[in-house]
Structure 1
Amino acid sequence: MNLALIDILDKFLVVIWPMLRLSAFLAFTSIFSMRAVNMRIRILLAFSMAFVVTQQIDIPRIDPLTAEGLMEISRQILIGLTMGLVFQVASAALVVAGQAASASMGLTIANMIDPNMGNVPVLSAFFNIMGTLIFLGMGGHLIVFGLVLESFKLLPIGQEFFSQDMLGKMIHWSAMMFLGALLIALPVMMTLLFINIGLGFVARAAPSLNIFTVGFPALILMGFVILIMSMGNNVARIQWIWTQSFLMLRSYLGE
């Protein structure tokens, strides 16, 4: 009985190290941390992937109760959080794009509660749902799982992770939150800017005309028209953002 318990404990200590990294990634990344993917599913998914990792690579025997073990626990959780941050920035780009488009259309008051992002405009929730569907449609979940499993070969357990180059990459990648939002919201923002300029000329030429009665409905209507017309391009831009996320995650891992 004692031998069996020792064997079970030894196997548990082997599985716990990859599971720490995988659990932190699944808990922090934007796609798999949704309410639809509850905690039980995430724990089961992390355990299954950790078991697969233990069959492919050699896991070092590290006692988690020692100082070295505590440092390794912090390191694995930090690696998982850093990899999840890549997709948090991509999702934030969709939210910022919705906020910019809503501000141009006058829909900033039309908000809804998003379990992941909090109180966001309706267009942000729409872009977020569209981004999730595009992510799943292009097989992003399979690509992510492959990259995360490959991270244990490119960045083995026990190896240092953070460096000055890594911090530079993180700061550089954070700019994607604004670049991606600009690419998605630019057609709506530019079109409504020219409409506002035209309404300003009309208000100047005819001061007695109540321009707000005509302008607000026109801005909302034209905003939705431009949004529908640019839907195809927005799909390509969102797909490009996810592709850049995969490349950045690979760059984090040292390739």
Structure 2
Amino acid sequence: MLSLTDAQLNAWLISFIWPLTRILGLIMVAPVFGHSSVPRRVKIGLGVFIALIIAPTLPPMPDVGLGSWYGLFILIQQLLIGMAMGFIMRVVFAAVEAAGEIVGLQMGLGFASFFDPQSAGQTLVISQFFNLLAALLFLAVNAHLLLLGILVESFKSLPISPQPLSAAGFYSVATYGSVVFSIGLQLALPLIAILLMTNLALGILTRSAPQLNIFAIGFPITLGVGLIALDITLPYFTPQFEHMFRNGFAATTAVIRALHP
């Protein structure tokens, strides 16, 4: 007859529950994985599958009861670590969406918006297009597998322990959020320059020929030039997105090191 002691049952549970909490924290926040269109059962099933694979390879767990206050403290810690890692990559996609917002407003497509279930708000069409392009490239270059690889390596560089996390790690996460505006502006800058020259040309044309109705001809010209410029510059977005993904992975690794107590 098979018999289990409380210590053995607790060791098996903590070797699975604590890594699963960190994994689910990343899946809940990370781009593509955490999208609202992905069913919750799929997210939980993916997290359980990854936890079952990596659990035997993890370092020894601290001898703490799962139902104790220290066990609950470690559980919350693992959730915060996973969410911090996923948030870094989510910032990269937020920068792409910000670039789409800037370009869409400059093209005059501020009215062309629809409800986005991910952000629970109105999103411009160009912004959603940029977001879908970044998501497809994220999957095409296997960045989702690299993110899972960083997650697995985090259990070695930041092992599970009852020691409190360093506040410098959370400060670095908040600091990295500032790149949303800088990266978004850099992505949109070529299109902004083209549309700015178009608006200047329209202004000169209106000044030289006041009888022209700028409101009648300005919008289709601006929209047409913006779409043509977007079609021309679209191939150059791919290396920029890849560079942003690499920077996001580097920032994720730096945050893991900074969180180490």
Fold conserved between structures, TM > 0.5: yes
Code of the aligned partner of 1:37: V
Aligned counterpart, 2:3: 3
Q: How far apart are residue 202 of structure 1 and its match?
A: 1.7
Aligned counterpart, 1:24: 25
Code of the aligned partner of 1:26: I
Code of the aligned partner of 2:146: I
Stretch of structure 1 that moved more, 122-131 or 32-41: 32-41
Stretch of structure 1 that moved more, 131-140 or 53-62: 53-62
Equivalent residue runs for 1:113-132 within 5 Å: 113-118=115-120, 119-132=122-135
Separation in 2, partners of 1:83, 1:203: 52
Code of the aligned partner of 1:62: V
- Tell whether the 8 Å contact from 1:24 to 1:77 is kept in structure 2 after alignment: yes
Aligned counterpart, 1:161: 165
Aligned counterpart, 2:101: 99
Separation in 2, partners of 1:27, 1:184: 27
Aligned counterpart, 1:49: 50
Equivalent residue runs for 1:51-200 within 5 Å: 51-57=52-58, 58-118=60-120, 119-158=122-161, 159-164=163-168, 166-200=169-203
- Please say if 1:206 is aligned against 2:209: yes
Code of the aligned partner of 2:249: F
Moved over 4 A (4+): 4-10
Q: How far apart are residue 128 of structure 1 and its match?
A: 0.7
Report the secondary structure of 1:3's partner residue: coil
Aligned counterpart, 1:15: 16
- Please say if 1:249 is aligned against 2:252: yes
Aligned counterpart, 1:215: 218
Q: How far apart are residue 94 of structure 1 and its match?
A: 1.1
Q: How far apart are residue 168 of structure 1 and its match?
A: 4.1
- Tell whether the 8 Å contact from 2:103 to 2:188 is kept in structure 1 after alignment: yes
Q: How far apart are residue 2 of structure 1 and its match?
A: 8.2
Runs (5+) with no aligned partner, structure 2 = none
Separation in 2, partners of 1:116, 1:30: 10
- Tell whether the 8 Å contact from 1:93 to 1:176 is kept in structure 2 after alignment: yes
Separation in 2, partners of 1:52, 1:217: 56
Equivalent pairs counted in the alignment come to 254
Code of the aligned partner of 2:39: N
Separation in 2, partners of 1:26, 1:214: 48
Separation in 1, partners of 2:15, 2:25: 17
- Tell whether the 8 Å contact from 2:14 to 2:61 is kept in structure 1 after alignment: no
- Tell whether the 8 Å contact from 1:14 to 1:61 is kept in structure 2 after alignment: no
- Identity, in percent, stands at 29
